[in-house]
Amino acid sequence: MEFSGSRTYWIKAMSWYRTQKVLPQKRYNPAEEWDYLEEDTLKHTRSASVCMTCQHFNYCCDRHCRTILTCHLHQRLIPHGDHLTSKCQCWIQRLERKIGWCPEAA
């Protein structure tokens, strides 16, 4: 400890510690390894009942920061663009739409 001049505070001399920078490991979504939906799974529709408004629709980013569209019911990837014009037979209305909040379809 050393005295810090005219003030009544004592300052403990800091010892120099050698620190090592530890970066957290990034965990990527296992959906990156899924295959795409088969062609006969999705049917074209002109209604609001499309993949984007389905309860099982989700999206995430891969390790290259590209958007991945997924269906957790089928555990498959959705081809880009098909989430806007197609649906499957297992389409379920999102719970958020009943409340009035559906950010994916906004």
Domain boundaries, the chain: 29-101
Neighbours of 14 (CB within 10 A): 6
pLDDT tens digits for 37-55?
A: 998 899 999 988 899 888 8
Does the predicted model carry a pTM greater than 0.85? no
**Euclidean distance between CA atoms 106 and 100, whole angstroms:** 11
Q: State mean pLDDT over 12-30.
A: 63
Phi, psi of 50 (to 5 degrees): -115, 170
16: three-class secondary structure by DSSP: coil
Phi, psi of 64 (to 5 degrees): -105, 15
